[in-house]
Amino acid sequence: MKRWIIFAAFLFCIVRAVIIDDNESCESEEHEEKQKMKCPKHYKGYYRVPSAANNQTKMWCIRVVMVNVSVSEPAAQQACNGEGAVLTTFSSYDEQKHIVRHASKFFRRNNITQGSIWLDGVRIEECRTLNVSKQISAPCNDKTRVFDITDPRTDPKYAWTQWYRTAPSWAYWPMRTEEYSNYPTPDSITADCINMWIYPGNDDRNGQLHAMHCDMAVPPYDFEKALNTNYGYVCGRPPVLSFY
């Protein structure tokens, strides 16, 4: 009789343990279901396929910021950092389309024919050179390698297919009237940052990437040329968890 009592008690303990485990599992699943990734106000979220190329990023929040005065790349970086974000770029056609659509709407509303906005991207160190031989050799002559992004949570593979057909160039500054063969000169600087052309109505340029002098808010070689005047920038950040 005692054996049966002991055996029954043993079975009771096992069943109770299983029930507790199941309850904890259900509670855990219910807790996860109540969590939802959400982007802050003014940001739009895009799901990404987590990989080593994007630091295992599952969702990325993007905000296109448009301004009425031209800005430099460092100013754009600082503005994004000020709201807990970073200067970012697109990783897919959908993200690119969102940026172009938002910026183009601003241009039309403000009667701006053409211009640019800053994106993440800098020329790699070994290609920040005035040595023409290096510029025309790998990796500096490779559109997929000559630039890199500063934030690892975006895979730039798609973005590097969106350079304008003649970009990225070095765009030496100061510009001079001498023959091109005399370039660059010792005091030259190169275009080491990236902006996106916004040119509503011109499918050849609208949404394409171009190299630009980082400290320049407007094109240094022609201050009246609007195409490279930067009227905005794109910030990116991770989502936040919300409970509902």
**CA–CA distance, 29 with 195 (Å, rounded to integer):** 44
Alpha-carbon distance values, 147 to 1, 11, 20, 47, 140 (Å): 81, 66, 55, 24, 8
Structural domains in the chain (count): 2
Task: Provide the domain limits for residue 15.
Answer: 2-33
Q: Which pair of tokens denotes residue 68?
A: 């009425």
pLDDT at position 189 is: 77
Per-residue pLDDT, 68: 86
Q: What is the pLDDT of residues 36-81, one digit of tens each?
A: 789 999 999 999 999 999 999 999 999 999 998 889 999 999 999 9
Q: Are residues 239 and 128 in the same domain?
A: yes
Q: Which of 144, 116, 70 is nearest to 208 (CA)?
A: 116
| Res 91: pLDDT | 98
- pLDDT above 80 for 18: no
Rg (CA), the chain: 26
| Average pLDDT of the segment spanning 104-125 | 95
- The confidence score (pLDDT) of residue 117 equals 96
Check whether residue 198 and residue 77 sit in a common domain: yes
**Percent of the chain with pLDDT strictly greater than 90:** 57
Residues 9 and 67 in one domain: no
Assess whether 105 and 22 both reside in one domain: no
Same domain, 24 and 52: no
